[in-house]
Amino acid sequence: MSDSVRTADDVKTLLLSCTGDSSQETMKFYDRWAQTYNQDVKLINYAASHLGVDFLIDHFTGSRREDVQVLDVACGSGGVAKLMVERGFRHFVGVDGSGGMLALAAQTGLYQDLRLALLGTQPLPAQTDGFDVVIIVGALDAGFAPVSVVRELCHAAKPGGLVCMARGEHRGAPARKYKEDLERELDLMEEEGLWRPVGIKQSDRYMEDPHLNPEREEDTEEERFIGGTVYLYRKSIRPSVQISH
């Protein structure tokens, strides 16, 4: 089928073919998807990058965005960097587990460095205390990156730096379990004094639901979408463990 006649239903069928059995298999899927990725995310109204960047900007208090060092984790084709450049940011390091996606990100010319790493299997290739902003959009889910990755995100941020995490509220038991484990870990890290919450934002339009039956005419416009959540934390300047185990 020619890319020019691809539809949202074509993209949803493609997404449902990704089993998410392992992060390795998921990255192979993204390598194959790279050819049509930028077109496809528009077809399914994928709003994750906008949600994450907008919420980050709403709480960013720095005066010189052009000096800010940004670590874009699971950077994909570079959608986050494109949006942040429009807001005045200039310095980006991208990390992704898919070589095909990193090739797309390289084409943007926005990244000073791009690094291949499978989150959770390989260490996050980022200097500790090295970045003013660490952002991850769309990869915190079952079959992608394990919950333990959020500690690596925190380690990569400078003391006082921001860590922004946007994820979709996908359906199914694995996704619900992942969210429970993630929020338990976020709270634990706060109790340990590693960071403090800046805010949480929820949206009912993260992306179109690939599981929705297109023949169900009774579904409303809102029911076509899954929701999403953005978590924003500020790394503590002097982390201190406040609980004991």
Residue 89 · residue 162 · CB < 8 Å? no
Whether 168 maps to a domain, the answer reads yes
- CB proximity list for 86: less than 8 A, separation 6 or greater: none
Rounded Cα gap, residues 103 and 114, in angstroms: 9
Residue that the structure tokens 């694995």 belong to: 174
Angle at alpha carbon of residue 33, lines to 145 and 232, rounded to 5°:
35
CATH code of residue 32: 3.40.50.150
Query: What does the longest C-alpha to C-alpha distance in the chain come to?
Result: 59
Residue 151 · residue 181 · CB < 8 Å? no
What is the predicted pLDDT for the residue at 218?
47
Residue 40 · residue 14 · CB < 8 Å? yes
Q: Are strands 69-73 and 131-137 parallel, antiparallel or unpaired?
A: parallel
What is the predicted pLDDT for the residue at 245?
42
Whether 12 maps to a domain, the answer reads yes
What does the block give as tokens for 3? 């890319």
Handedness of CA 114, 119, 125, 127 (dihedral sign): positive
What does the block give as tokens for 118? 């499978």
- For the chain, what is the radius of gyration of the CA atoms? 18
Whether 242 maps to a domain, the answer reads no
Whether 245 maps to a domain, the answer reads no
Angle at alpha carbon of residue 163, lines to 161 and 169, rounded to 5°:
165
Rounded Cα gap, residues 239 and 159, in angstroms: 9
What is the predicted pLDDT for the residue at 126?
97
Range of the domain at 143: 3-215+227-235
Bridge partner list, 225: 208
Residue 124 · residue 157 · CB < 8 Å? no
What is the predicted pLDDT for the residue at 19?
66
What does the block give as tokens for 235? 């790394």
Structurally, how many domains does the chain consist of?
A: 1
Q: pLDDT in tens for each of the 245 residues of the chain?
A: 445 588 988 998 888 888 666 778 888 889 999 989 999 999 999 999 999 999 999 999 877 899 999 999 999 999 999 999 999 999 999 999 999 999 999 999 999 999 999 999 999 999 999 999 999 999 999 888 999 999 999 999 999 999 999 999 988 888 899 999 999 999 999 999 999 999 999 999 999 988 765 555 545 556 789 999 999 999 999 755 444 44
Query: Closest by alpha carbon to 192, among 235, 147, 134?
Result: 235
Residue 203: CB atoms within 10 Å: 20
